[in-house]
């Protein structure tokens, strides 16, 4: 029996009385995760850029849901979402993202992939952290190993040269460094909240459909059809990280060859994604760029 057969969405614990926020929950892995969490009894907030699409997605979810607007490429929208929050938030799932798109800028002038995938979620997490009671799960990717596996602090917005693939890899590396430093801060503050990361392997979603290169779009369309696993299988690592008793800073991915597909298990990350010094530096820079500070009352060395 495979790991996927051993653990799947039907094995989720009873989540009655718990609230989860899933960013980018209008399609793909985010929607699949929302469906599973709501099916297990959680109240799920679909945090989406387009509320109309969000409501259409929510109509496919059996359980308690609500739709709230959140544009991670606009820090004013992130602040508005957080300002409207009240009450406990048991699980925050930072799932939304863009991948290998043509050069674009966020409303605040950041390179779109770094600004959306990392900075938007960084700001959202810190603004919501006072309400979080259990864990923060951030969706990264095996693409964090792409390129030279280093954060380009001297060119975070790809002003010198823009490579869609490299910029995506940077943002996914940032997701793991963010998780590492968030867990350090949580631990040192005495908080029981845990920060974890997950990646879906190669899953068939619409994330790949916006690649800058037509050749890349065609290649990924072929791979989605003949190589990738389903979005339901791709959501399992996220659901596993969101509900199972795992150590803080854990990284969950598929257990198959190359971590492309399979059941959820703990996986390794690159050396660059495990560097605490880089993680602290990225955190400081992210605070400066977003103007959002960590709410934990502690002295950070």
CATH number at residue 50: 3.40.50.720
Cβ–Cβ under 8 Å, residues 146 and 166: yes
| Residue-wise pLDDT tens digits, 82-92 | 999 999 999 99
| Structural domain contains residue 299 | no
| Structural domain contains residue 295 | no
From the candidates 131, 168, 202, 240, give the one annotated as an active-site residue: 168
Q: Exposed (0-12), middle (13-18) or buried (19+): which is 179, by Cβ within 10 Å?
A: buried
| Structural domain contains residue 1 | no
Indicate the helix (H) or strand (E) that contains 48.
Answer: strand 43-48
| Residue-wise pLDDT tens digits, 158-189 | 999 899 999 999 999 999 999 999 999 999 99
The domain in which residue 40 lies consists of 8-290
Cα-Cα-Cα-Cα torsion 135, 136, 141, 144, nearest 10 degrees, comes to -110
| Structural domain contains residue 20 | yes
| Structural domain contains residue 81 | yes
| Structural domain contains residue 3 | no
Domains held by the chain: number: 1
| Residue-wise pLDDT tens digits, 187-240 | 999 999 999 999 999 875 555 444 555 544 444 554 444 455 888 999 999 999
Cα-based distances in Å from 260 to 44, 169, 172, 263, 264:
28, 16, 16, 10, 11
Active site residue 226: no
| Structural domain contains residue 301 | no
Length of the chain, in residues: 301
Cβ–Cβ under 8 Å, residues 296 and 288: no
Cα-based distances in Å from 153 to 183, 236, 251, 255, 300:
22, 33, 24, 33, 21
């Amino acid at each position: 029996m495979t790991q996927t057969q051993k653990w799947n969405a039907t094995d989720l614990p009873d989540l009655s009385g718990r609230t989860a926020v899933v960013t980018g929950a209008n399609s793909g892995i985010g929607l699949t995760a929302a469906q599973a969490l709501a099916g297990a009894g959680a109240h799920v907030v679909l945090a989406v850029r387009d509320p109309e699409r969000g409501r259409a997605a929510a109509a496919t979810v059996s359980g308690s849901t609500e739709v709230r607007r959140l544009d991670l490429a606009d820090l004013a929208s992130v602040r508005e979402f957080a300002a409207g929050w009240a009450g406990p938030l048991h699980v925050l799932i930072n799932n939304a993202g863009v991948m290998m798109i043509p050069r674009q800028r966020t409303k605040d002038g950041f390179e779109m992939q770094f600004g959306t995938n990392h900075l938007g979620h960084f700001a959202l997490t810190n603004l919501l952290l006072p309400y979080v009671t259990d864990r923060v799960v951030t969706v990264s990717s095996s693409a964090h190993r792409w390129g030279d596996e280093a954060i380009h602090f001297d060119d975070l917005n790809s002003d010198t040269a823009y490579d869609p693939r490299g910029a995506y890899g940077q943002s996914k590396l940032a997701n793991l460094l963010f998780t590492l430093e968030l867990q350090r801060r949580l631990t040192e503050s005495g908080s029981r909240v845990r920060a974890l990361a997950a990646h879906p392997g190669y899953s068939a979603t619409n994330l790949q459909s916006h690649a800058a290169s037509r050749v890349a779009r065609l290649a990924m369309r072929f791979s989605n059809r003949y190589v990738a696993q389903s979005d339901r299988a791709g959501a399992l690592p996220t659901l596993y990280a969101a509900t199972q008793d795992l150590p803080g800073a854990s990284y969950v991915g598929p257990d198959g060859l190359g971590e492309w597909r399979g059941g959820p298990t703990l996986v390794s990350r690159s050396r660059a994604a495990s560097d605490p010094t880089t993680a602290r530096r990225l955190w400081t820079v992210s605070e400066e760029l977003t103007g959002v500070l960590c709410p934990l009352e502690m002295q950070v060395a």
